[in-house]
Structure 1
Amino acid sequence: MSDLKWLPGEPMRFFGLDADFDRRDLKRAYGKAIRQYKPETHPAEFGMIREAYERLEKSLRYGQQMQSLAQASQAWEVDDSHQGEPIEDPVPRTSASPEIQPTLTSRSVVPSTPKPDLTLRQLAVVDPVAATAKLDSTVRRSPQDYYIAAVLADAVSTRATPKYLGHLIDGLIAFPDDPGLTSLTSEFLRTEIPDEILSKTIEFVAQKITTPLFYVLTESLWLRLIESSEFGVVKNLLDQCERAIRQDDPAVRTTFQLRLMRSAIWTAPSDWSAQIIHEIETHSASLNYTAQIDLQFLVDLQTLLRSPKRRDPIRQQLLGAVRAACRYDETRSVAQAVQLLSEVARDSTAFRESFPIQNNDEDMAWVSVIESVVDQLEAYQESSSDAASVDENRLAAQSLQLIKDLFPDIGLVVRAVDQAKFRYKSVPMLVWLIVIPVVAALPLIIALSVAFGGNQWAAILTLTGLVFIIVGVVWSFFGWLYPKKLAPRQEQFKQTRLMRDYAKYWRARLFRFSQACGEPIHVQCIRIAQMGRQTNQAGVSDLAIHFIRQDSGLVVFAALQRILK
């Protein structure tokens, strides 16, 4: 069970993560935590967990630029200027809004008489006005001073002001690498900015922060703006802000673009999306492994969005689930994505009709995109350790029954092999090796007989000519005609007929097996191979596995079954 005592100081310890955790580990731990602290029943706890998750998720994506943020709340644990005392919030802020708490306002109106030896932190608690005055007269401020000034700005004001954010930004200008200020600013922008001032807030930050840190701080605002505004507004504001960036870091900007595109690709013009993806690809050498996966996801998703088949009802529903999974607040869209995918996964007949066997680039893109989304959604569901144990006996019985059902029709499925060989090798070889030598030899025999009058030399030359003709015909067939011209056609004919007969006799049975099994496709293949060896039907199992790997629709369908389980 996740212990909240580790938040916000030690998020990795709260989630139970090792130092080398990856995105899947983080998402699985996060999903387990929010099942324990659901947002509708534990809003405060959920907010803390969400903030910890986003910090760690950012550290994975931005790499070294964000690694220090994972321990941001520990950065100010000890302040040398305050005799080693822990730094506490001098004026606690509400998590919902920046409005002043009544007790603090009254405290600022009727200040107490502080002792002259009070530290700034202590003075801020008993007399915010005096603490503010003391800060204003301080020439050299520490990062903690900027934070105290930010909190006091709300405490001494009679109305809500943007000064809290302003002081944090000023602190980042003075200390751009300070993890505490960066974490506080990022969290404030993520949670405290209402939708109606998203654009103004982004503009304000862009005017103050002209380094790549701008991307890190405002990422959450951009994602919300994409969902609430027309794309033209987003693009114009993005162009305006990027012109203000004075220090460019391709790695940070590319990481920002990757996250932005997951939301923007659905509403942006295809030309603009292609341009941004191309820019990301030009800097792909600087991307870490996680970012490389994100880039491939965008490339495949762009292929699907450009396809004319996207209007198919099943594919539309799948794209709807993918779009839900790409939204900024994943926890609120997971349920929608799971529902859409579950509906598709229950109707194998409609799915087979929507995904005929083609094996083109679009089919490969579907496999990549759906498996990525299923991996993401599985992280929010029960882990394998929490789920019921696998019923090995039931799965073994299902695998055995599959082999029995497939065996009677194996001859009909593989007949294309003999048909292709007969059509593109046997018949052409007979024609080439018999008809052509005969046709070529007759003129030779007649010509030599006329020239030499049928004597011994005519016979010798005729025999020599026939040998050269036969050798030439054999070489031309096996060395040129068959490998260069006929073999490719034979292979194409064989594959086409094999897949046609597979779809006719075996495909529906394998779809039903995948639906009943509910395991990843590679696990299904292992079970089929094992059962084939146990029953001395390795030929059937090997052929079935070959077809499974060639059937992109089946691979996608099998991935969806993991959602149902």
Structure 2
Amino acid sequence: MSESDEPRWDLLPDDPEQFFSLSGDYDVRDLKRSYNALIKRFKPEKCPEEFQRIRAAFERLNDALRYGETRNPGSLPPQAQFDWSAPPAPGNQTQEPPDEQTILPPSDIDHDESESESTPLLEFPELYERVQQEPLPDIYEELKSLPHKTPYDYYALALISDLITDEELSFPFWLLKGLKAHPEEPALFELLHQYFLTDQTVKGLGKLLVETARVIRNDRFYYLTENAWDRLLREVPFNQFRQVLEACEANLLDHEVDHMLVFYVHLLKAGLWKADPDWIRMILAQIDEYHERMSYWLELEYEFLFLIRSYREQREEFLKGGPIRKLIDQTIIDYCTQSEQVADRRFLECQQTLVSQRDELLKEFNVPSRGCENVIYLWETIAADVSERIDTEWSPDDPATLPEQTHRLAGQLFAETEGAEYRKAVKIPTLAFVLIFLVSIIVGLLFALNKSDSISAILLIAGCLLLFNGVTFIISYLVADVVTQEFYLSWWRRQLLTFYQSHWFPLPYLAAELKRLNGTQIGKEKFRGMSEVAHMLRNDAGLWFYSTAQRLLAACR
């Protein structure tokens, strides 16, 4: 699909595969690539309705792909997908659940009547005509009294009850009753899955999940209910969440674990921030037991969990720096625990703050920035993910121009005045060491001439001189390092910040190119000290956060 093509909105919601221009053997990465290309054009703040339709189609296909379910249920023949009129299969007849008045508690959930407009009521003219001509309560009571209900009867009961009763969660509970009478009925299952994808209140959600586990007792339970668990984890205390999950899993009988693996890898992204350590260790051990069954993309998701865990091990030390670090920390938590749309917005808001509070950012990350390796790697992974969804026309500088741009930058870093001052400053500790070394040699020779008859005395003074010169060398090296660091903080860092306001190359590439220039002479310029600048640049977390923020904000503009 080209940028100028209008998406085939008529393909939604029935054919999300064709909507995303996917065919053949595609995977999660192909789907995300197509999805990101669309939401760059239809951003939520500018095109909220279009974005919601794209997002709903993406979630439907993404869930099916991750869990290995049918990729596009809408592409199945109608008779295979919606066999509404089929009677209960022999041997599958089950006793009706308790009376509807007891299983369906009062509800404060309202469903948009527009949902019914997308359902296949027109394929059943008798009921459709009756709905227009007869009171809904009469039809509802008649359907309830049927001794043997078809899947469509249960769907109609779910829809009508949602319109005329105050029973809590009546729509999904009727679908569950239908699935109990018609196990694995694909249309009822898909309708219930779509219900769990909607952002409903968590009131009564725990009870609904437990009831669902009593009906769907196999590994598909995780695929069916994943979105509901996300909401529950966000909005209730973890102990309550864990109790509901354990109550559900106590009802599952399936020996399959593939859906369980996908579910827990997904759940731990947020769970690592809310769950207690014992539960996390238990779940990770459970995942590791079946690690060889993971797909490639699931391995990548699992590796991201280890980035989070590595950061959490250093998190307490990282947070000691000040409010900017706390903002970065909260943004990481939001990315892991909030919906994609909320997480992206907060991540970009954080970038704006980092740029606008540049001085505070640099102050909190001294050079070298110690103990920041894990958070930088994690932040880079998050930035790459967010960038895929917001990056439209912006692109980084052409890598081929890096040598030219670096040479120009080096000239600014070592301009005549500053370069001369730096060379003079670093020569002082070096000259001091050389002077002390020569003096110690002369003193040693004089002592040796006076004590030529005492070998032990000569060896003693030689050892003392070696120790003294070693300490002197270390001190001179440390002084030179302090001088270099002061020059970096007072001059070079400002020039690098200015550079990243108008250019963007990955910091490691720029550092490598600066180091390559060290000691080289181009024209009348001879660059010395480039290795030191490159070393400082690689260890400057503040500059790294700043340059990343500039890149993302440039993409937004």
What TM-score do you get using the length of structure 1 for normalisation?
A: 0.68
Q: Return the match for 1:257 from 264, 280, 303.
A: 264
Q: 2:214, 2:251 within 8 Å by CA — same for their partners in 1?
A: yes
Corresponding residue for residue 445 of structure 1: 453
CA distance in 2, matches of 1:206, 1:256: 15
Aligned-partner SS, 1:306: helix
Q: How big is the shift at 1:272?
A: 5.7
Q: How big is the shift at 1:5?
A: 4.2
Q: Superposition pairs for residues 319-338 of structure 1, below 5 Å?
A: 319-338=329-348
Corresponding residue for residue 383 of structure 2: 374
Aligned-partner SS, 2:383: helix
User: What is the letter of the counterpart of residue 9 of structure 2?
Assistant: L
Q: Which structure has the larger Rg?
A: 1
Corresponding residue for residue 547 of structure 2: 558
1:268-296 Cα offsets, whole Å, 9 max, x none, are 45676577567666766655342233223
Corresponding residue for residue 497 of structure 2: 511
Q: Which moved more, 1:225-234 or 1:149-158?
A: 149-158
CA distance in 2, matches of 1:27, 1:369: 20
Q: 1:27, 1:379 within 8 Å by CA — same for their partners in 2?
A: no
Paired-residue identity, %: 19
User: What is the letter of the counterpart of residue 241 of structure 1?
Assistant: C
Q: How big is the shift at 1:503?
A: 2.6
Q: Does 1:50 align with 2:51?
A: no
Q: Superposition pairs for residues 523-538 of structure 1, below 5 Å?
A: 524-525=510-511
Corresponding residue for residue 549 of structure 1: 538
Corresponding residue for residue 107 of structure 2: none
CA distance in 2, matches of 1:270, 1:551: 32
Q: Does 1:200 align with 2:207?
A: yes
CA distance in 1, matches of 2:378, 2:57: 27
CA distance in 2, matches of 1:50, 1:428: 72
Q: Does 1:309 align with 2:316?
A: no
Q: CA 1:561–1:274 in 2, change beyond 3 Å: closer, same or farther?
A: farther
Where does structure 1 lack aligned partners over 5 or more consecutive residues? 81-85, 113-126, 138-144, 449-464
CA distance in 2, matches of 1:108, 1:131: 11
Q: CA 1:560–1:231 in 2, change beyond 3 Å: closer, same or farther?
A: same
Corresponding residue for residue 217 of structure 1: 224
Q: 1:59, 1:70 within 8 Å by CA — same for their partners in 2?
A: yes
Q: 1:11, 1:52 within 8 Å by CA — same for their partners in 2?
A: yes
Q: Does 1:502 align with 2:509?
A: no
CA distance in 2, matches of 1:281, 1:496: 47
Q: 1:211, 1:246 within 8 Å by CA — same for their partners in 2?
A: yes
Q: CA 1:501–1:36 in 2, change beyond 3 Å: closer, same or farther?
A: closer
What TM-score do you get using the length of structure 2 for normalisation?
A: 0.68
Q: 2:270, 2:337 within 8 Å by CA — same for their partners in 1?
A: yes
Q: CA 1:87–1:529 in 2, change beyond 3 Å: closer, same or farther?
A: farther
Q: CA 1:417–1:293 in 2, change beyond 3 Å: closer, same or farther?
A: farther
Q: 2:331, 2:347 within 8 Å by CA — same for their partners in 1?
A: yes
Aligned-partner SS, 1:379: helix
Q: CA 1:169–1:357 in 2, change beyond 3 Å: closer, same or farther?
A: farther
Q: Does 1:339 align with 2:349?
A: yes
Q: How big is the shift at 1:220?
A: 0.9
Corresponding residue for residue 155 of structure 2: 151
Q: How big is the shift at 1:517?
A: 1.8
CA distance in 2, matches of 1:371, 1:131: 57
Q: How big is the shift at 1:264?
A: 3.6
Q: Name the Cα RMSD after superposition.
A: 5.3
Count of aligned pairs between the two proteins: 499
CA distance in 1, matches of 2:279, 2:434: 51
CA distance in 2, matches of 1:17, 1:235: 38
User: What is the letter of the counterpart of residue 230 of structure 2?
Assistant: L
Q: 1:514, 1:524 within 8 Å by CA — same for their partners in 2?
A: no
Q: 1:263, 1:326 within 8 Å by CA — same for their partners in 2?
A: yes
